[in-house]
């Protein structure tokens, strides 16, 4: 049976959830090191549907492709202080505190530059070779949750980040 051949063939290896790196900006030049990022959603897309009615019947056609937001979770150490880095990304995107009495206007260009023009997700095999790569083009932060504090816990503080991007490129190194 095909199922028995798959599981008994030692050369076949499934992709694992724990083998990956996420790079914000150009790999090697991030302001947030990849080892601080502990969870990430892989990119996903949705194909919008166009409906056409004709003589009491409905016909459906594929429309535009819309890439969905992704989220990642990272640890907030004292150094490097990821909360500070994320807040500076917000300010670099054009945000200014109200007490400055200046106009605070976020721009896409500045927000994308603050995060890095590309986010790269590498999925690895058991030998730490890249088998799949996603590149998220023109990413910018849409949501940051600086975590929860509780006296009854000694857990590390997690920061959750949501990112919007224009589109993703996918490349596989398996072929």
The single residue listed with the structure tokens 């999925």 is 123
- Residue 65 makes CB contacts below 8 A (sequence gap 6+) with 45, 46, 47, 48, 167
CA angle 110, 116, 118 (to 5 degrees): 125
Q: Is 1's pLDDT higher than 70? A: no
For residue 26, name the pLDDT band (cuts at 50, 70, 90). low
- Tens-place pLDDT, residues 127-143: 999 999 999 999 999 99
CA angle 31, 36, 39 (to 5 degrees): 120
Task: Give the start-to-end residue ranges of the domains of the chain.
Answer: 20-172
- Tens-place pLDDT, residues 72-122: 999 999 988 999 999 999 999 999 888 877 777 899 999 999 998 899 999
For residue 2, name the pLDDT band (cuts at 50, 70, 90). low
* Burial grade of 161 (CB within 10 A; 0-12, 13-18, 19 or more): buried
For residue 49, name the pLDDT band (cuts at 50, 70, 90). very high
Domain 20-172: top CATH class: mainly beta
């Amino acid at each position: 049976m095909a199922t028995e051949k798959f599981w008994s063939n030692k050369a076949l290896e499934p992709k694992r959830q724990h083998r990956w790196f996420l790079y914000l900006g150009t790999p090697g030049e991030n302001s947030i090191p990849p080892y601080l990022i502990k969870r990430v959603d892989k990119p996903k897309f949705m194909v919008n549907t166009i409906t056409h009615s004709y003589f009491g019947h409905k016909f459906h056609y594929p429309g535009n492709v819309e890439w969905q937001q992704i989220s990642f979770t990272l640890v907030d150490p004292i150094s490097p202080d990821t909360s500070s880095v994320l807040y500076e990304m917000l300010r670099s995107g054009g945000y200014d505190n109200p007490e400055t009495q200046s106009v605070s206007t976020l721009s896409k260009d500045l927000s994308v530059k603050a995060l890095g023009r590309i986010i790269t997700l590498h999925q690895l095999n058991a030998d730490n070779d890249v088998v799949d790569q996603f590149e998220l083009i023109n990413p910018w932060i849409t949501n940051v949750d600086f975590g929860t504090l509780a006296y009854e816990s000694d857990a590390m503080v997690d920061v959750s980040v949501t990112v919007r991007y224009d589109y993703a490129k996918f490349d596989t190194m398996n072929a």
